[in-house]
Structures are given as C-alpha cells and as structure tokens.
Structure 1
C-alpha cells in the first residue's frame, strides 16, 4: 500500500428531511494500492476545478461515495500530472513525462465514456492528492517542447476536450442540412461557461459569427477582446423559466416575458438580423424555451451537460420537426477525439487564456470550492496547484 496527503470527501449522512449533508473536503492521509502492471504513480501539478467536483460536494444528484460504495474518495479529474513511476505493462508514458488527464475511466464498445475518473468510476482517485494512482489509458502526454504552459494544459484537459467532441458533432450536423453556399457565415451563440467559451473559439476558426452570454464585467470585457460578441445576462434577469410559477403567478409571467423579449432582441441584434444557427446550451431546463425561440430553421441546439436543469419538459415535437431543429447531446469524448484536440490546440494555440490568472494554493482548495459555489470566481477555468512544476 502507498500513502499520501489528500483532500478527501467522506461519505455523507442523511438528514431527517431526506436530504444529504453537503460535503466538506478534509485534509488527511489517504492510502491506496501499489501500482499494477497498467498503472502509473503520478504527482499532480495543476488541477482545474470542474462542475462535477461541485456536484460531488453538494451530493447532487448523488452521493458519489455511496454510489461507489466507498467511505471516502479523492476528487479532481482535470489537470496535469508528472509521471513518477510506471507499471511493467505501461507503454504510453515514462517517468518524468508531463501528461494531461483524460478522465474517460470506463468506456462503451465505441470508446465513449460510461463512467468518469474520480467521480462515479469506482476505485479511482483524482488530483486532490500529493500523489495519485492512475491507469495509463487516462493519460495523454503533453506535446514535447510545447509552446504552451502547464497551466493552460491543465485548464484544457476536461472542458476543451468536451468542447471538441460536442462541437464536432454539432457542426457536422448543421452542415449536413445547410451547406456553406446556403449559409457562408453561421451565427453561433452560447450561454456562459468554459465549454461554451472553447466551442465559440472553434466556431471562430470555422468562420462563424459568435456571441456569448455572461454577467460579470471582467468576463464581458474579455469576450469582446477575443472577438466574441458579449451579451450581458443582467439585461434579462428573469429569464429562468419555472413552468408552474409561470402558470400561476401573473406578475412573474410578465417579468419572464419581458426578459425573454429583451433576450431575443439582443440576440437578433448581435446576429445582425440573422437567426441562431447553433445554440450552445450547457445550462438546461430553465433556459431551453428561450434558446429554442432564438434558434433558426435547420438550427442545432447542443449540450454536453447541464447546470440548472437536467430534465427538459414541454418541448413541442411537432414544432421541432417542422423547424428541422437538431438536438445534440454528448458526454465528454473518446480517446481519438482527445488526441486530435490536443494536436489542434498545440498547432493553433486553441487553449484557455489562464496565464497570469490566480492559481489557488494547496491549502486554499476548500476556499476555491466555496468561491466557485458562490459565483465569486471570475475565471472559467479555476486552477489550483498541488506540487511545484520543477
């Protein structure tokens, strides 16, 4: 057995009202097995705080410890590690290599993920540990002599790979229906977030006009600086739709209608009168109606997850068929897509702009978790450091 220092999430206890206690990270010694033939012992360098880590701490939609039938788990499935030791059958990496983490822990017969490393995949551990044990298939070596920083690659590892797979399918689907001669400059809009940001950068490479919704001044300024039209979320504050309240509360219904009208007007203005060709919606239920109203004929609405609503209700199938809307849903990526994304990123410079941003220290990890939950982190890619770069 090996032992390391880690930030650990313990199994929660049920409250009387049927809810689970939100999780707290505890710094303590954590024991794990010796590396097997296909395993790699690694030192995490930088990690990127991801949405699934917040879900695990809030125990929404599940208590991952209970799901995995384990008393405690080490989270963290995005970042960069340095290889320390390799098992006898490891051929992909060598000691001293810097690798990004590819968190597809268990895949289906086509290589797409079923379970995610350091989240719902049992007997896996993540990067919130001074040393961690990883199977070799979740590591992708960073290109030799890369001109990009380890911080950028750490921020890239989950959200950009997710973006690559989702955009590849959404773009291909749109172009199956609408040729370049039909629509030479598609209009792409995304709700704020790291995956949408990465996809809009890809859309720019494809020659699209792009816009993104955000609410923080720093983010709005940055979007404009990189050629993404900023849409200020604060201009339509009551856009989150609650169907039951909409049906029963006239004042709420009026506020929602006004926000939706303002949203659609701002989107139309950003598109210079053009309807949305592809809408990047990683938020979910409360914003679906507005997103679909903004979407043009033969348009694509695409998602790789949800933030506010996993269940989608009251979608008119007849309307969606008549408008030939395509609904794309993906979950992370398969290995070949991740390798392609890394290669494109190295060549084109398609990586997160995180150099110069704050990196949280090891002992600040709980603070980072709180500030992300409270919406007080401006970066789409919040980074923490575990070990020095060396």
Structure 2
C-alpha cells in the first residue's frame, strides 16, 4: 500500500492522575488507500492552525487519541486541498481543482456537526498528512476565477463559524429590541480569528464594534479593520477565578480594580448603556466581567472555550436583565457553498498578505508557538503541498 508523510500525534499516557501530558508531533509515513466510489484523493495544500489542534496536543479537556481508540492520529481541520483523483461515483469534482475541506464527521438531522474529522471523529484523516482520502460531499470547490489566493481561503473555518454564530446571535438580539436604535449598539469581543471575522459582519449591520487584545500588533490590526481596539493591559488582573483561588492577600482587590477599569471603558464606548452583544470566546475567569458589562436585553455569545469550559452565572440576575446566552459550534453543513459565495462576492476574507506561512518541516514549531500564545496574527498558516 502507498504511504505518505504526515505529522502524527500519539496517544498520551493511560494514567492521567497527574494531569495531561502534552503531546508532540512526530514525522512518520502512514498508509493511504485508493478512493472508493464516492470518495476523493486530495493533496493538502495550505492550512490554518485551529484551537482544536491545540486541544489535541494539550490533551485537554480529553485525550482525543485515546477517545478514538487509536494509537495515533493526524490532526489538521481547516484548509485548502487539491483534488488528485475521484471515485467512479463522484460528480462535479475534477482533477486539479482546489477545494475547501469541510471537516465534519457525524452530522445531526439539522446539518450541524456532532464530531469533527481530524479531531474526535474515529478513523478520520487530517491535513497534516501530504494526501488523504475524504468523502466527496465534504469538499466545497473554490471559485475558478482565482480572485483570492488559497492562503486567504485557508482560514475559512473561522469565517464559516463566525457567519453561523453571527446569524444566530443577531437574530436573538433583535428578538427583544426594536430596529429603531436611540444609540448605536456596541458589539464587543475577545477571542481570536472567529471574533475578528464576526465583528466585520456586525459592522455591516450597523453596530459599533470593539475588540480586546493585549498585543500591539493585534491592536493595530483591530484598528485597521474598523473596530475600536481595547488594550487588555489596562485591566491586567481581570481574572476572577485566579483572584479567588490564588491565595494572594491582595488578589481580590486587584481584581476589583481591573473590573472597575474595564467597566469604565465599556461605559465610555457604549454611552453608559453597556455591551449589546458580547462575543466571548474566552470565558473562564473573564466571564464574570463579561456578564457585568452587558446591557439590558444584551446577548453573550460564544463559539469557543479557550480559557475555560465551565461558566457560572446568577440565574435571577440574568433573567431580570433579559440576557440571552448563545452557544454554537461550527456551522450548518448545507450552508457551506452559501457562505463561500458570500465571502467571494463581498471580499469578506482575511487580509493575510504579510502573514508568514510555516513550511511542512517546521510545523511542530508552529504548534509550540500557538501553545505558548506566542503568535502575532489571528490566522497562523502552514503549507503541506510541494514536498518531495
């Protein structure tokens, strides 16, 4: 059987009593079969490092390799692939065509993913392999005009996810308010590329937008995008969980000072009304401040859980304030071509002209930098195709 090069992640130790042990990618050759009747053999071209890839390496919250019952897996869930050959029953795809790979494993009756390929879907391949065989219906062809290079399409999963989350979130907010606004409502976000993409959709609907970051390069990008940059360093101790559990005698005082400064900034940005829609893809110890900053009839929306999976709120306060809590994941399968067309028509793609693309043999370095939160941009790209 033919083999291809791939960066593989082995299963972690069975005993997790001492906590998860971070995994390391290892270069190996893995077998690859010929495509079946309704399958396609594709070449991985360029991908974008995703949060679920970090979750897999960190083995947090679970060891997905062990959950899948496998010795090793190939991760990589977002990117552009090129069709090499198609099964006898495949229509509408041809050799040499560039496509977006939709990494959905099991899909529910409404089209939403219940498992993700190259993550928790058993037996599924990933883009850190030179070539892979995938179901034909998981490919969305790129427009043939070549207006935008593959690198700008590679982070598409962040944009597809942003499109879906904003569709739900905007409708929820509008369900409680009139369309005639006395003040321009504020949409605030903290997180990464999904929030960055989502804020552009909010601006197109007439909202004022702002985004939090503690890194100069990202604050510059936020300002250039049309959102108001909010410097995270102005409220350095805004982590309620850390303050409560640290044991440091002044921890809560420092938290309260940071919270007060954060709420002061929100008041200035919102005309004293609070955040109408808070895109909170961080959570954890920041969630308390998120809820305090919300306006009445406000919406807090999340499509990620980067710094904390468990959230706490006081139900009475949330009910009285008529706050809506939105939780989404990925996007609806049947919307893929529709979102692609919207991106193509409006130019709603990341401007990554100056973003470095990590070559295949240095992918572990990219993984390590992402794990340290040591990357300036929101869309860390890697290339696979073109190797010997």
TM-score, structure 1 normalization: 0.95
User: Aligned-pair RMSD on alpha carbons?
Assistant: 1.7
Give unmatched runs, 5+ long, in structure 2: none
Preserved contact between residue 146 and residue 346 of structure 1 (Cα < 8 Å): no
Cross-structure match for 1:76: 76
State which of 350, 353, 357 in structure 1 corresponds to 2:351.
353
Decide whether aligned partners of structure 1 residues 275 and 334 sit closer, same or farther in structure 2, where only a CA change above 3 A counts. Answer: same
Alpha-carbon shift at residue 172 of structure 1 (Å): 0.7
Task: Write out per-residue CA displacement over residues 164-197 of structure 1, whole angstroms, 9 at most, x where no aligned residue.
Answer: 1101000011111112114563210000311100
Aligned counterparts of 1:175 and 1:290: Cα–Cα separation in 2 = 23
What is the alpha-carbon distance in structure 1 between the residues aligned to residue 61 and residue 67 of structure 2? 11
**More off after superposition, 78-87 vs 16-25:** 16-25
Q: What is residue 370 of structure 2 aligned with on the other side? A: 372
Q: Residue 325 of structure 2 aligns with which residue?
A: 327
Distance 1:217 1:370, change over 3 A: same
Q: For residues 307 and 109 of structure 2, what CA distance do their matches in structure 1 show?
A: 31
CA distance change for structure 1 residues 246 and 264 in 2, over 3 Å: closer, same or farther? farther
Moved more, 87-96 or 106-115: 87-96
Partner residue in 1 for 2:62: 62
Q: CA deviation at 1:28?
A: 0.9
Residue 310 of structure 1 and its aligned partner are, at CA, apart by 0.5
2:187 aligned residue: 188
Shift in Å at residue 340 of structure 1?
Answer: 2.0
Does the CA contact (< 8 Å) of 1:104 and 1:334 recur in 2? no
- How far residue 287 of structure 1 moved from its aligned partner, in angstroms, is 1.0
Q: Which residue of 1 aligns with 2:86?
A: 86
Matched, 1:96 2:88: no
- Structure 1 residue 132: deviation in Å? 1.2
Q: How does 1:233-382 map to 2 (within 5 A)?
A: 233-242=232-241, 245=244, 250-313=249-312, 315-382=313-380
Over 3 Å counting, the alpha-carbon distance change for 1:16 and 1:248 in structure 2 is closer
- Rounded to whole Å, the distance in 2 between the matches of 1:228 and 1:151 is 24
1:26-175 to 2 correspondences below 5 Å: 26-155=26-155, 157-175=156-174
Distance (whole Å) between structure 2 residues aligned to residue 339 and residue 88 of structure 1: 23
After superposition, give the CA deviation of every residue in 1:291-350 in whole Å (9 maximum; x if it has no partner).
11111011110011201110112x111111111100000010112332222111101110
Q: Distance in 1 between matches of 2:309 and 2:92?
A: 37
Moved more, 36-45 or 18-27: 18-27
Distance 1:30 1:182 in 2: 58
> Does the CA contact (< 8 Å) of 2:23 and 2:57 recur in 1?
yes
Using the TM superposition, give the Cα deviation of residue 289 of structure 1 relative to its aligned residue in structure 2, in angstroms.
0.8
Deviation at 1:32, TM superposition (A): 3.0
Change in 2 beyond 3 A, CA 1:298/1:16: closer
Q: Distance in 2 between matches of 1:118 and 1:367?
A: 20
1:208–1:244 CA distance, 2 compared to 1 (3 A): closer
Aligned residues: 387
1:20 and 1:311 map into 2 onto residues whose CA distance is: 18
Greater shift after overlay, 247-256 or 63-72?
A: 247-256
Q: What is the alpha-carbon distance in structure 1 between the residues aligned to residue 30 and residue 153 of structure 2?
A: 27
Q: Is the 8 A contact 2:186 2:269 kept in 1?
A: no
Which structure 1 segments of 5+ residues have no match? none
CA distance 1:316–1:371, shift in 2 (3 Å): same
**Following TM superposition, by how much is the alpha carbon of 1:387 offset from its aligned partner in structure 2, in angstroms?**
0.9
Secondary structure class of the residue paired with 1:177: coil
> How far 1:272 moved relative to its partner?
3.6
Kindly indicate whether the alpha-carbon contact (under 8 Å) linking 1:277 and 1:299 is maintained by their aligned counterparts in 2.
yes
Change (3 A) 1:246 1:24: closer
Cα distance, 1:388 vs. partner? 3.9
* Maintained 8 Å contact 1:241/1:256: yes
Maintained 8 Å contact 2:243/2:251: no
> Alpha carbons of 1:362 and 1:257: their partners in 2 closer, same or farther (altered >3 Å)?
same
